[in-house]
Amino acid sequence: MTALLVFLSLILIVVIAIQIGKVTELAAKIRGEEEMQEIINGRQGLYMVIFMIAFLVLTAYTGAVYKNYYLGFGPMQAASAHGGKIDAMFNVTLVICGIVFVITQILLFYYAWKYSGRRTGKAKFIAHDNKLEMIWTAIPAVVMAFLVIRGLDAWNEIMADIQPGEDYLEIEATGFQFGWALRYPGPDGVLGPKNYKLISGANPLGQDWTDERNVDDFHADELVLPKGKKIRVRITSKDVLHNFYLPHFRVKMDAIPGIPTYFVFEPQKTNEEFREQLRNYPEYQVPSDPKDPNSKPKWEVFDYELACAELCGNSHFAMRKTVKIVEPEAYEMWAMQQKSYYLSNIRFKDEDPNKDKLFSAEIEARKEEFAEALDTALITAKKTVQFSYVTFATGSDKLTGVSRYELDNLVDAMKQKSGLKVELAGHTDDTGEDAQNLTLSQKRADAVLKYLRSKGIDASRLSAKGFGETQPVVANDSDENRAKNRRTEFRIVGQ
Amino acid sequence: MAHVANHPMTQEEELIEKLGYDDHFHDHHEGDRYQSNFINTYVFSMDHKIIAKQFLITGMIWALIGAGMSLIFRLQLGFPEESMAWLKPLLGKWIIINAETGMGTLSQDFYYALVTMHGTILVFFVLTAGLSGTFSNLLIPLQLGARDMASPFLNMLSYWFFFLSGMIMLFSLFVSTGPFSGGWTAYPPLSALPQASSGSGAGMTLWLLSLVFFVVSVLLGGINYITTVLNLRTKGMTMWRMPLTIWAFFVTAIIGLLSFPVLVSGFLLLMFDRGMGTSFYLSEIFVGGQALDHVGGSPILYQHLFWFLGHPEVYIIILPAMGLVSEVLSVHSRKPIFGYKAMVYSILAIAFLSFIVWAHHMFMSGVNPFISNFFVVFTLIIAVPSAVKVFNWISTLYGGNIRFTAASMFAIGFVSMFISGGLTGIFLGNSAIDIQQHDTYFVVAHFHIVMGVAAFFGMFAGIYNWFPKMYGRFMNETLGKIHFWGTMIGAYAIFWPMHYIGMAGVPRRYYRFDTFASFSHFDDLNKFITVAAIATFAFQILFVVNFFYSIWKGKKMTTLNPWGASTLEWTTAINPGHGNWAGKIPTVHRWPYDYGKDGKEFISQITPMEEGETPGEH
């Protein structure tokens, strides 16, 4: 029914249109073609001028209404060091083009009206004027030269890469369908290498874990950057083209699979400072949630945003990340709290190629940890120390590679303290047969003893005993607790 | 066959009979078998006038489809909260109905498909084939005094390859994975990997196939246009006596011939990457949970190849419009075009420069920033010949006796649009500004005004002006003027606000804006734009009605030369038959812009110079 009505009204409109058309043809017949054309010329010429006035007035009016969205004005002042240059360039061009726009539009429509045809009128025969052509070739050429020189001056400065000796922070942004992954270099200041073939669920960026530079790299959910420091963003993509776009910082660069790109910029306003910049403008004093009039005003909840500006598929419009610019000290604090992706998600898992060895920092840390535990045992009544890092292959008495680091700590201690005598103890959880558990725990204790002897500790200072499942530290009621009960310990029997 | 006059000879016919050149065309009958029955007269026609109409009407149908698509995605952008369930009968599964609320939403995939198809259709099918195909075919032989194109057969093939291309594209709209949805520029890897976007599957295969056929069509047409202009000009028609329309079509065809093959090679490599496992554009990609084997390719290579056509393409679109506008402005101002030679040289300069600016589309795409310096320089230099053209058009109006017709009004509107849209190009061509403005609504506003709306205005000026030559009847002038004002006001209402949205940094090709607080300031403007787009579309329906009504019911042409134009097409019969001139072909004695010269309203090109007359041209 609706379709029918729409269809009928369309037909009606068509009929009316044709009738309107016929009326004027009739008028032309009555009045004579030439007279009618003269009337039309006068009328349409007038419309042209009216249109021009309305057009220019509306341009000025809407320009004033939307002035707070102009690049470089009020709330739209750039938040980066180079942004001001872009905005200035934009505004210089705006002024020049604005002048040309107004003059040419006025001349066009004014002439159309002024020279609208009359029956008695005669057009002037003016075919060309070489002098005029020269003038209006030369003037645009000079203006363009000015804009080109200014523009390129800014461009080359903005796009310059980091110079040797400059202090900067390099981070990495990787676009994917549909989001951004952000990677920071960690304390070493260097982003580790990656290889797209290594990408997996556990390794979303394909970082190469055999390279130590990856060890301290951390991933972040928000782009947090220190104010006043040069940032070099290394921009990469996992799948299709994306574009790393920070509108408030005038930063934009494609992310290309296989070809890393970069953009260097220096944030100059923290989020709080930018909020202060916004708070004076009515556009930002409205509720942030249009459905809730009591929500906080827009300026108060403002955060910088990272967007995608290159069509990348059906959710291209939703690749948002929050950007936070903070004072350098706050940045240092934040960076210290971030956990290395490798150490918290990969270390000692199956996919860790280094699971059989420790990095020097880890060795140091564990040495300290061990020394502390031993010292406590030496001076207190609790004489048992658990090996936190001694592990065996499942179901066997074969020591894993990393176990040696902790055993070496004991070796060093026993070499220092010649009176130290220990009893090595193996414990299991309650799964499996009691007798088997007992044998396994004995074998494991023996394996540790064998290792210590191989390092030159005299057999008289060592003994080994398997306790099976007889001495749980916690009840065997969960996987977690059972793991706690599977352990190797030593007891100080003489010191 | 000698000329048989069944009516008193007009002045023009007498002149041609007296001074014309007898090429004995009508002594041979082979020409007539071209048009012996309905099929070879109206369907597989080899007559350039019919082929022109075929291009025009096919182009109009595509324009309606392409513009209709833009209305659907504008509804999404302007009214994202409104239900689109009512479009379900048309769009089927692409409208997703929420089972609880009954709310219908446009699927994101289809939104991007619509955006992509809108661009592809408008750029290639409407503004290349529909504009250049129509008027090059219609006017090149008629204004040069030729019987037909150099190769009528290739000319026929040109249309039918275009038709085939269109059919394949139309078919792609209906495949189950959806039409291609990666943007009209079809950048890989998105366009190469069906895993990355469902439209990159069968839809993309058809898209590529369609456009390869399209290029075949353009090349066949272009070879014909160039050959005809170079070889089939009538006696006396030197290059410097050609109307600016012909100059524009001629240069356009040359640009097309040089640039479209590069697009095909770009597409070919893309096809290899898609189907044969090569890695021209693909490298180190992890998509759909899988690391692909492709290494070593560069997506930027595709962009170079694409824009090596893509940039000249915008001049392929705008130059014919410029030619039409120059001609229409001059005829209806009753004045010579101001600075004819400057106009020709500026066309040539623009054409030359159009080949060395392509990478200004790629400032932010990862090319070495140093190389962008050159492209900035050449890009901004284009402003110089463009400015020269604008000043010449304005000067053509100066001191004229302007006759306001729908044609001349659209020509004036063209100049206004070209100024508005051209000036924003000066922002975007400057790479430093482009850092912020690239791929924002500022770009959308820029290119729609300068090459979308302006080119349409040129096309409308041409249609209103030469409709009598095509159909022997006039289009209704009043409806034409309503159409003009509706389109003029409507087009500015659509695209002007986009500058503000773009200055605020809102990216283009977003399905909705509320995902970002920074981009969600413009709900009202987006609603306004959508409403303006619908209204403007309605005025185009008015045009279509006027067009088809006038073909059969329009006011009949009673004189040969209703506009008092001096070019040759108006010396032919009201409904010119095969071979265009019934007897001899006219010879040319002067340039085409002798309007208001020596106190005469106009002097046709076929009129010999009088004793002691100084030529109008310089």
Q: Do A111 and B509 touch (CB under 8 A)?
A: no
A191 touches B: beta carbon within 8 Å: no
Alpha-carbon span B108 to A311, nearest angstrom? 12
User: Got the DSSP string for A442-470?
Assistant: HHHHHHHHHHHHHTT--GGGEEEEE-TTS
**In chain B, how many H helices and how many E strands?**
19, 6
Is residue B578 within 8 Å of residue B31, measured between CB atoms?
Answer: yes
Q: Do A313 and B197 touch (CB under 8 A)?
A: yes
For residue B391, the chain A residues in CB contact (below 8 A) are 104, 132, 136
The ipTM of this complex is 0.94
pLDDT at B3: 47
pLDDT at B5: 47
Q: Do A24 and B183 touch (CB under 8 A)?
A: no
pLDDT surpassing 80 at residue A195: yes
Looking at chain B, the whole-number percentage of residues with pLDDT higher than 90 is: 87
pLDDT at B23: 82
CA-based nearest distance A220→chain B, Å: 19
Residue in chain A lying closest to B423 (CA): A97
pLDDT at A234: 97
> Which range (A243-247, A301-305, A364-368) has the least confidence?
A364-368
Q: Do A124 and B400 touch (CB under 8 A)?
A: yes
Residue bearing the bigger pLDDT, A33 or B179: B179
Using CB atoms, pick whichever of B190, B399, B419 lies closest to residue A115.
B399
> Which range (A277-281, B8-12, B16-20, B63-67) has the least confidence?
B8-12
pLDDT at B406: 96
pLDDT category of residue B2 using cuts at 50, 70 and 90: very low
CA-based nearest distance B397→chain A, Å: 6
pLDDT category of residue A289 using cuts at 50, 70 and 90: confident
Looking at chain A, the whole-number percentage of residues with pLDDT higher than 70 is: 100
A459 touches B: beta carbon within 8 Å: no
CA angle A184–A186–A191, rounded 5-degree value: 60
pLDDT at B8: 66
pLDDT category of residue B618 using cuts at 50, 70 and 90: low
Residue in chain A lying closest to B294 (CA): A258
pLDDT surpassing 50 at residue B210: yes
Alpha-carbon span A112 to A107, nearest angstrom? 8
Using CB atoms, pick whichever of A23, A43, A128 lies closest to residue B339.
A128
pLDDT at B30: 61
Residues 239-268 of A with CB under 8 A from B: 239-241, 243, 245, 247-248, 250-254, 256-259, 261
pLDDT at B116: 97
B417 touches A: beta carbon within 8 Å: no
pLDDT at B6: 55
CA distances from B517 to A299, A320, A373, B513 (A): 10, 10, 54, 8
Residue in chain B lying closest to A85 (CA): B432
Closest to A328 (Cα-Cα) out of A262, A268, A264: A268
Q: Do B404 and A127 touch (CB under 8 A)?
A: no
> Which range (A39-53, A85-99, A360-374) has the least confidence?
A360-374
A121 touches B: beta carbon within 8 Å: yes
Residue bearing the bigger pLDDT, B119 or A487: B119
pLDDT category of residue B1 using cuts at 50, 70 and 90: very low
Residue range B385-391: mean pLDDT, rounded: 96
Residue in chain B lying closest to A247 (CA): B505
Reported as a single tens digit per residue, the pLDDT across B310-338 is 999 999 999 999 999 999 999 999 999 99
Q: Give CA B30 to chain center in angstroms.
A: 34
pLDDT at B577: 87
pLDDT at A250: 96
Looking at chain B, the whole-number percentage of residues with pLDDT higher than 70 is: 97
Using CB atoms, pick whichever of A104, A144, A151 lies closest to residue B384.
A144
pTM: 0.92
Interface with B, mutate which of A6, A87, A97, A178 (most B CBs under 10 A): A97
Reported as a single tens digit per residue, the pLDDT across A207-236 is 999 998 999 999 999 999 999 999 999 999
What would the two tokens of residue B610 be?
Answer: 């009088």
pLDDT at B7: 63
pLDDT surpassing 80 at residue B100: yes
Interface size between A and B, measured as CB pairs under 8 A: 368
For residue B498, the chain A residues in CB contact (below 8 A) are none
Reported as a single tens digit per residue, the pLDDT across B23-52 is 888 777 665 666 777 887 888 889 999 999
Residue range B298-303: mean pLDDT, rounded: 96
User: Got the DSSP string for B152-215?
Assistant: HHHHHHHHHHHHHHHHHHHHHTTSTT-S--STTTT-TTTTT-TTT-GGGTHHHHHHHHHHHHHH
Using CB atoms, pick whichever of B299, B334, B416 lies closest to residue A123.
B334
Q: Do A313 and B190 touch (CB under 8 A)?
A: yes
Reported as a single tens digit per residue, the pLDDT across A94-144 is 999 999 999 999 999 999 999 999 988 888 888 888 999 999 999 999 999
Which strand (E) or helix (H) includes residue B290? strand B290-291
pLDDT at B481: 95
pLDDT at B490: 97
A230 forms beta bridges with A168
Q: Do B596 and A310 touch (CB under 8 A)?
A: no
Residues 436-465 of B with CB under 8 A from A: 436-440
Residue in chain A lying closest to B512 (CA): A317
Reported as a single tens digit per residue, the pLDDT across B124-144 is 999 999 999 999 999 999 999
Residue in chain A lying closest to B370 (CA): A156
CA-based nearest distance A43→chain B, Å: 9
Reported as a single tens digit per residue, the pLDDT across A299-325 is 999 999 999 999 999 999 999 999 999
For residue B409, the chain A residues in CB contact (below 8 A) are 44
Reported as a single tens digit per residue, the pLDDT across B248-292 is 999 999 999 999 999 999 999 999 999 999 999 999 999 999 999
Q: How many residues are listed for chain A in this entry?
A: 495
